[in-house]
Amino acid sequence: MKKVSRKVGKYEVGRTIGEGTFAKVKFARNTETGESVAMKVLAKTTILKHKMVDQIKREISIMKIVRHPNIVRLHEVLAGQTKIYIILEFVSGGELFDKIVHQGKLHENECRRYFQQLIDAVAHCHNKGVYHRDLKPENLLLDGKGNLKVSDFGLSALPQQGAGLLRTTCGTPNYVAPEVLGNQGYDGAAADLWSCGVILYVLMAGYLPFDETHLPTLYKKISAAEFSCPFWFSPGVKSLIHKILDPNPETRIQIEGIKKVPWFQKNYVPVKHREDAEVNLDDVCAVFDDIEENYAAEQSENYGGPLIMNAFEMITLSQGLNLSALFDRRQDYVKRQTRFVSCKPAKVIISTIEAVAQSMSLKAHTRNFKTRLEGISTSKTGQFAVALEVFEVAPSLFMVDVRKAAGDTLEYHKFYKDLCAKLDDIIWKPKEGMAIPACLEQ
């Protein structure tokens, strides 16, 4: 018996598309409308154990408050017996980070467009009294039309009543403002803008302005704003970046100033969006009240084989109806989540992966055709982990989804390349000119 597809309320749940310390993100489909969504799944026991109820409530509330075309939309929140489900807009174009890794520096006009959309989104957040505090290319997604969407408000902060400055040091070191590292109170708006400046530099250069493996040296360079712009930066963008990466938050350019800069103004069309009616947070409270009659119906799972990938998932995985991107691993080798196809039996795929993991000095944990590989990162600074899951896409044809679960994204790219080389015997390779395997053309 095959593993049945899982349902939570009106949502049919598919593969895992993201994984963090406290949550997994699943691809899902609204069976009433056919709309694809991202379902963030959190275990209630984890939330209680780590005393995260207030933080999760805040994250959900923030995402309901900051509705904007360039911010990932929160549709609704559901509660099950043991889990909380946050239903989010599904953004199909991947991370901006992947685009930078794949292409290196982007064209100046493209950089400008992304930066304009980023500033529009950040301005909207700040107008609502919300500060993101972890802006970086990994948290900037692209939709099918190439529009930027800000995601991951897990570190966002709403100002406390009567308190003007934030005091929590958080974010990713390379993108963090000097005053945040200073362990003193800081202005959330100014700190967000510093991160925007680093992002603009990365888009234009293809690498970071501050990049040292030795953290004290990195912090010293950030605090002194010690960086230089490469020769291909135009005078306009170079001037703007220096105004944003000002180590003094008091003199750092603000959003109003950025929007007046001629470089920013070029081809700038402010995004149009209607202000929603007053946001109702009653459902957020209801989710944490643990009232059984409000629980979403959760369909149980039967295991006997890999999950069969539905057609709607396959189409979303591919670009339009061209399924070739599914089966040519060269097309998505740069992504944090990658995949390959095999005609070997599912159990053979899993056992081969486990054997390869052992040869790479990684521990393997397998359950229900899902395998997690764990080891120490090459920099010896923390854990490196990868999750793999086998799906049946057609009779005797299986797709293996591979995604980073912990560690550095660039390290993951190298790992995936090495993994594919070692799994070469089980990976199906399309013949020259073949778009999709014959068994999928029926």
Tokens of 399: 């797709």
- 49 appears as a binding residue in the annotation: yes
* C-beta of residue 319 within 8 angstroms of C-beta of residue 146: no
Name the amino acid, one letter, at 219: Y
Catalytic residue among 98, 120, 134, 401: 134
Q: Which residue has the tokens 């360079």?
A: 221
Catalytic residue flag (residue 134): yes
Tokens of 183: 């362990």
Relative to beta strand 11-19, strand 397-406 is: unpaired
For residue 391, the tally of other CB atoms under 10 A from its CB is 24
The 3-state secondary structure of 260-315 reads HCHHHHCCCCCCCCCCCCCCCCHHHHHHHCCCHHHCCCECCCCCCCCEECCHHHHH
Rounded Cα distance between 8 and 368, Å, is 19
* C-beta of residue 41 within 8 angstroms of C-beta of residue 23: yes
State the binding site for ATP.
49
Cite the active site residues.
Answer: 134
State the binding site.
49
